[in-house]
Chain A
Amino acid sequence: MTATSILLSVVLTLSMSLANGASTSAPGLEVSGDHANACVVASLPGPEYYRIDLVPTRRLVGSASVNGYGDVYFASSPFGVALTSTGHYAYDLKVEVSGLRERSGKEYVLWVTSPSLDEIHRIGPLVDGRLSTRVEMNKYLVVLTLEDAGVTSNKWQGPVVMRGMSRSGLMHTMAGHGPFESEPCAQYGYR
């Protein structure tokens, strides 16, 4: 599989899961796995539309069945909608992962990066499978890696266990994954 086709399938999986849960079986398209029905848009509080599905990379033995997602809320603001002075949204990202196997001397570290990886923020090790952080980017990737415990660096050293894309990552349609396919997907961490 090429990087692009993997990303496409990720996009589709995400798209399907983000769509109204009642109608995930679009004609001519097969979606398998838990993510097809991972979330349901309902008229209850909660920004389901922007939820980030964390997808296992299967690069780590025994990690194929882990589940995770990031819930995206506006950061507290007197204006309701939280914005930075440059016009980026300010979000509270709440990540929750289940099914991770404990590994001695290691910890699962959460990162938030720009799509081109020129900006990488180390958020920190998950605590009981959870971690929250402020994100001040419109378009970003969420990456979970396995690192040596207690070691901090500004770029991950260990394998990527899961990764996800903010909903805005779908906004590369017309020039990206239409007939032109010019997006540098490998740089996004999808290989």
Chain B
Amino acid sequence: MTTPSTGALSLSADLAELFQKSARLEGFKFLGLSDLTWGIEAKPASTHSSVQEPLPLVFQNDPFAELARQQGQIKTVVIPVGAEAHLFEKGPDSTLGLQWVNQVWHVQVQEKATLEMVLFQDTAEFAKEAVQAFHRIYFSLAKDATLNLTLVQQGSEKGQVRCHVDCVGEGASAQIHGLTVGRKSQRQDLWVDVHHTVPHTQSHLTAFAVVQDQAHSIFNGQLNIEPGAFFTEAFQKNKNLILSDRASVDTFPKLLIANSEVKCGHGSTVSSLDPEQLMYLQSRGIDQAEAQQMVRTGFMKQAIDWIKNTETREAVELALGLRIEGGDVNDF
């Protein structure tokens, strides 16, 4: 991996240092950055490294900042052979006053490497109502690479996360969870496209969406199993919880299978709050409003519980309102 090319504006060494600090790149080696691009590589065998909202600082005092914000950013991440890494991207930063966010990620998980990644498109704390956020994320999984990916979105007037996973090495496996939280008149979509091109690869995708008010969410899932990808195991599920009459979802789980030696499955469910669940909770003294909140929270937790890194999981739960600061409702 080479240092990304320098673009129209070159950054001073100071800025590069600032970037590294702000990015909290523990466990990662900095590959370089230019105006719209940065790259990092996990140090071999490092664990629980994190990258958090690294880019905004880079542009903070920059005369072209506004332009850069509008054009977006490209990030390259390499998890080298045998390494184990954890990546948490939550953002963009609400203090920047952005209205338009566009990010592209390229992530390479090399042989026998393991990556746990959480991409949280979160604009819920933004002062401006009309934030639009777009994330594209491409993964390539080499032989025996493992990906545990969680994609979460909330807050944007228009929010889109498009994820593409290529299982290009035998033994590669991906576990993907999605969670879309829609409120007000937000419109959010989640696209997950998984390609199985070689034999013996696996993918399990479960996407959850919970919508209230007049929110609308769209799930677009596609499993592509190529002619040579024998013994593929690929599953996708989409579960939707609709909390108001005016909220709605569209769900498109697609399966394209070009050989017969595969185990595949797909399906969607759309439901509102189940009166039997509410009755059960209420019969235990829990009032109706709290019962509804518990069912909703439980639904969302199904997507989040898979995050192994405790610090990240707690941060996500906090931002989603699933956890009270200083105390976990599930502590026992």
**A and B assemble together:** no
**Which B residues are within 8 Å of any A CB, using their own CB?**
none
